[in-house]
Chain A
Amino acid sequence: MIPLAAGNALVGVLIARKLDFPVLICALIGAAFFSLTISEAVLRYDAVGAIWSAGTGMVLTMLSLIFFFAWSPSNGFARIPDKAGTDGAVGHRDFLRSAYHLSKIGASCGVCYAGRRMLPACVPDAKGHGLAWRIFPVGC
């Protein structure tokens, strides 16, 4: 529920700021991570793996949204490293800065992991199954 509630709020803010493409990128990151990890997670941990994979995808989407929200120049975040500057939201700076750095680290780890999973999956295995088979094992 944490990533869902936070994600909904951040999507609302980003849509209000007319930042539709960052929302699309965040959704793509979360969906790609989920699609790449679900098969192995289910094979290893059954139903719990499916829930964990979906939850991790949501968390990754939330972290990406936090990153784009904090990175967005319209909230004055670009001026945050300048400690002397005061843009009227001093009380919220530390939290936003912490969230920004946390999201940067978390989203980077998630993207790296998904990339690490995706690259070997692109290479067809002994039976000739490639990336599509790993994502949709039965459909293909």
Chain B
Amino acid sequence: MRLDRNFPDLRRIFFQGLPLGVAMLLMSLTYQGPLIFFRHLASHGDTLGQLALAMQVFFVLSYIPSALGEVSLPVLSRAVARHDLKDRVFAETVLRFSLFFGTVLALLGMALGPWLTVQIFGESYTQGLYCCS
């Protein structure tokens, strides 16, 4: 195996991927940022820890839509190449389903969240419930 030092091609690939890379970085800022900024603003370390703990549920759940988005990319690329508008159907369907299931999940979270957090993390982490609620 040998490195192909074709720098013009590498540079082209780099600049093609740069906007998307920056976009992904900025998108991750909105859900990683609260912990980073809260670290500078929080007066108590335990409050930061409770916030980090409360956000772990969100981080774990966020892998599901991320995985769905990644696996659908090749199919979407083929749909766009065929011009059959199935990518549009996909986006609209996901929008409708995310609205429905997101609302159901939010209601379930409000109803069962406090009980579930105590069951998973124990009584000592009940302070995290304030962050969740």
Contacts and interface: CB of A to CB of B under 8 A. Distances in A.
Interface of A: 1-2, 4-13, 15-17, 20-21, 23-24, 26-28, 30-31, 34-35, 38-39, 42-43, 46-48, 50-51, 53-54, 57-58, 61, 66, 69, 74-76, 87-89, 92, 95-96, 99, 136-139
Interface of B: 16, 19-20, 22-27, 29-31, 33-34, 37-38, 40-42, 47, 50-51, 54-55, 58, 61-62, 64-66, 68-70, 72-73, 76-77, 79-80, 83, 85, 87-92, 94-99, 101-103, 105-106, 130-131
Contacts of A38: 33-34, 37
Interface of B: prevailing SS: helix
Nearest to A10: B91
Contacts of A30: 26-27, 30
Given A9-B90, A9-B91, A11-B23, 16 more contacts: A5-B101, A6-B98, A12-B70, A20-B16, A23-B19, A23-B20, A27-B23, A30-B26, A31-B26, A34-B30, A35-B33, A46-B42, A48-B131, A50-B37, A89-B89, A137-B41
A2 B103 contact: yes
Contact of A4 (B23, B62, B130): B62
B102 A5 contact: yes
Contact of B69 (A11, A20, A139): A11
